Amino acid sequence: MIISNDQWVRAGLRGELRERGYDAVGARDVAEAVHASRPDPGRGPVRLVLVDQTSLGAELEADAIERLHRATWRARLVLVAPANRKEAAGPWTDILRRPITVGDVADYIAQILPDEHTAGPIDK
């Protein structure tokens, strides 16, 4: 799952991940991601949530992030943070720093979920 308020970022990364065999969904914000993480008979559980820090609200949506963490408790929560700002507090498994390309993010996901795309992609 990709959380970014920038539609082009979501679309570009989803496209790259799908090319690599992953099933990826996008959300504009954390609240939408909580809703999208509900069980779906056509999909398995969410395995990774990528959160673009620039899509977080002023209060960093701490309560919403905690709800997302509970809703996707088996998933890795990865923050993409700006290079020049402190990263948002949260239950992050890892933090990626900008500048970063779509290919860099897809390579990172392939490293941490190398065989996941055959059994259950990142948002299954």
Going by their DSSP bridges, the two strands 48-52 and 2-3 should be labelled as parallel
Is-contact 118 21, C-beta < 8 A? yes
For the chain (length 124 residues), average pLDDT per consecutive 10? Answer: 94 95 91 86 86 79 81 91 91 95 96 65 44
Domain boundaries, the chain: 2-119
pTM score, whole prediction = 0.85
Task: Provide the pLDDT for residue 3.
Answer: 95
DSSP 9-34: HHHHHHHHHHHTT----EESSHHHHH
CATH number assigned to the domain covering 2-119: 3.40.50.2300
